[in-house]
A and B are shown apart, each in its own frame.
Chain A
Amino acid sequence: MTLQLTHFSAALVFALIASIVFGITHRDTARDMIRYGLYCFAMFLGGILVAGWAMWLVRR
């Protein structure tokens, strides 16, 4: 069986899992872990969108 994800969904899964691990390992309290995890996820997602649009502009 081969799993066929789209580029965007693969990047989304990557961002979600990396954010969870970063949040747990880089902060001390539960509240800070959640906040940092959400921050990392937002940065990943923002980076994906910015890079995607940048590549679209370069291609034009």
Chain B
Amino acid sequence: MANPTSAKINPTPAAKTTPASSMMAVLAPAVGWFIPGVGHLIQRRWIRGSLLLVSIATMFALGLAMQGHIYKANGGDILDILGFVGDLGAGGMYIATLAMNGGQGAIAFAIADYGTKFMIVSGLLNFIAVADAYHIAIGKKS
């Protein structure tokens, strides 16, 4: 006779987590946030990781080259806070830009505003890439 609680007691093999996979579930998103695409690269998704790295880094670099503005955690206007959250997604690139005092110029033309949006969106795209790296690490995605 089948025990209705057996499914709860004996998890399926796919649901089991090894120390290595749980370690990867922390490491991949963290590294992927700091350097876009590396969360995939350390899980041997070479092409996906490389494409994410090149795409997100290019978008951030183009935004900076267009004299886009970079937001700081000043806690002022709500739109500034949202901009900061978006920028923060770019991880190491955001930190390096702040350290080099980049992205601080006044926006003097329309394309510079595009640059600001490019940097925010590159951060938001990196958040999606981080979530994808996490899903690969926990086995939800191949």
The answer, among B65, B110, B141, for a CB contact under 8 Å with A1, is: B65
By beta carbon, the residue of chain B nearest A11 is B114
| Complex partner residue of B62 from A3, A20, A21, CB under 8 angstroms | A3
Interface positions, chain A 3-27, Cβ under 8 Å from B, are 3-5, 7, 10, 13-14, 17-18, 20-22, 24-25
Q: Given contacts A17-B125, A21-B125, A28-B142, is CB(A5)–CB(B132) below 8 Å?
A: no
Do A3 and B65 touch (CB < 8 A)?
A: yes
Number of residue pairs spanning A and B whose beta carbons lie under 8 angstroms apart: 56
**Size range of the chain B interface in the assembly:** 20 to 34
Which positions in A face B, CB cutoff 8 Å? 1-5, 7, 10, 13-14, 17-18, 20-22, 24-25, 28
- The CA-CA distance from A4 to B111 in the complex, in Å, is 7
Please tell me which stretch of B16-24, B47-55, B90-98 contacts chain A, meaning at least 4 of its Cβ atoms lie within 8 angstroms of it: B47-55
Binding site for A on B (CB under 8 A): 48, 51-52, 55-56, 58-59, 62, 65-67, 110-111, 114-115, 118, 121-122, 125, 128-129, 131-132, 141-142
**Chain B: minimal CB distance from A40 (Å):** 12
Among B52, B67, B111, the one with the most A-chain Cβ atoms within 10 Å of its Cβ is B111
